[in-house]
Amino acid sequence: MLRYYLAIDIGASSGRHIVGWQENGAIQTKEVFRFPNGVREENGHLTWDVRKLFSNVVCGIMEAFKQYPEIESLSIDSWGVDYVLLKGDEEVYPVYAYRDSRTDAVIPQVHEKMPFSELYRHTGCQFQPFNTIYQLYDEKLNGRLEGVTDLLMMPEYLMWKLCGVKAREYTNATTMGMIDAKTGELDMEIVDALGYPRHLFPMLSQPGTVLGMLRPEIEAAVDGNCKVVLCATHDTGSAVEGIPMEGNHPYISSGTWSLLGVKTPEPITDSGSEAANYSNEGGVGYNRYQKNIMGMWLVNELQRELCPDTPFPEIVKLAEESTCDALVDANAPEFLAPKSMKAAFNKATGNVLATIGDYFRCAYRSLAVSYQQAIEELEASTGCTYEKLYIVGGGAKNGFLNRLTEEATGKQVIALPIEATALGNLKMQMEVK
């Protein structure tokens, strides 16, 4: 008898409900529900509509039970760093999105309390202006931590809404910038230095932890019941688990962000790693040594602005036909949340982009160059030379970008256009006894 599991994989632009089962020694999957996601502007800030997000999660579970009534368990993964604050069982609104610029003013204040070089030695977490550590300092200065009882990362919040158990999962916690890289626990020296309430940071739970069954009201709404299980709730943590690679090679999880890294037995927190701005994040029994690269966000925003009705195969063809050789720094802060991605590209290139194909060729080539630079930094930090580079996620479907990446890095690119994140999510559930 087949046993069915539900992976809910939520990205910054869309969410997917994927049912999986083991058959003939392999994991089989079927997408049963998909919904759009995205930030909204609210009083001059970028926020998440978590009510709508949760409603979509429930709708997808309902559809999953319609098609597969005997689901054993479900789990949720999503992007890192973002969270929901609670006062008891009440959300503190608004729920800010990581692309919001509110942290810009507080970053220097955080580094006055604890310089980044010291933070890095403790956590091995790369600098990103949206890391949870900076978001929370803005919350503190604005009095939004007063009376707060809980801080739940996004997947933890959604699973609490489903089953009533508040958990803090290890892999997602490592995106906060406050986890001791060597112990894998919250670094209370950092917490105390910044004046954050200790009670917000209880013991962490590991992937594979069973939280419980669906709440009665959720069971009634979805017409089914199952266990709620912690996967590696940071989507990249699940993606790495889902990559069917032979041996240990670098990977790119290519979505809104491109996460380029490799598994290492121990964290790397020396000055060279700090200078390269690599991050040490939690894996399932290993360290993920990786770097955030702006990724398909550049391409998706250009499409939204320049040619929303043009399908990506046509966009790629236009990029291939272009002869433009302009490049931008794909990780430059001006590309994080621009009012106009076209304008940001124009400014960065000196207004040399003339056609739609020019913009996309510039974006794809710039991503490939950023991958090359990241690979060189990776090899310098690990002391290893790698021959292969695995690419998974939506970006793996882009043959043009894969060719550019292979040319730029000199590595054999193995593109696996699979839902690696969902596969990793399902794999963890299937290992629960």
Check: CB of residue 79 under 8 Å from CB of residue 421: no
Query: Tokens representing 386?
Result: 């790698």
Closest CA to 33 of 3, 65, 4: 65
9 in active site: no
Angle, nearest 10°, between helix axes 50-67 and 154-163? 60
Check: CB of residue 18 under 8 Å from CB of residue 430: no
Catalytic residue among 77, 138, 235, 358: 235
- List phi, psi (to 5°) of 208: 100, -10
Residue whose tokens read 């060189």: 376
d(CA 303, CA 418): 23
CA distances (Å), origin 168, targets 190, 194, 204, 211, 234: 18, 20, 5, 11, 11
d(CA 185, CA 179): 5
Dump the DSSP string for 249-318.
--EEEESSSEEEEEEESS---SHHHHHHT-EEEE-SSSEEEEEEE-TTHHHHHHHHHH-TTS-HHHHHHH
Check: CB of residue 47 under 8 Å from CB of residue 40: yes
d(CA 212, CA 263): 31
154 contacts: CB under 8 Å, gap ≥ 6? 10, 48, 78, 79, 82, 83, 84
Dihedral sign computed on CA atoms, order 231, 235, 237, 241: positive
∠ Cα 274 373 11 (to 5°):
80
∠ Cα 297 300 302 (to 5°):
105
d(CA 254, CA 125): 20
- List phi, psi (to 5°) of 359: -60, -45
**Strand ranges (DSSP E) for 11-128?**
14-23, 26-36, 40-42, 45-48, 71-78, 83-87, 90-91, 95-96
Which active-site residues does the annotation give?
A: 235
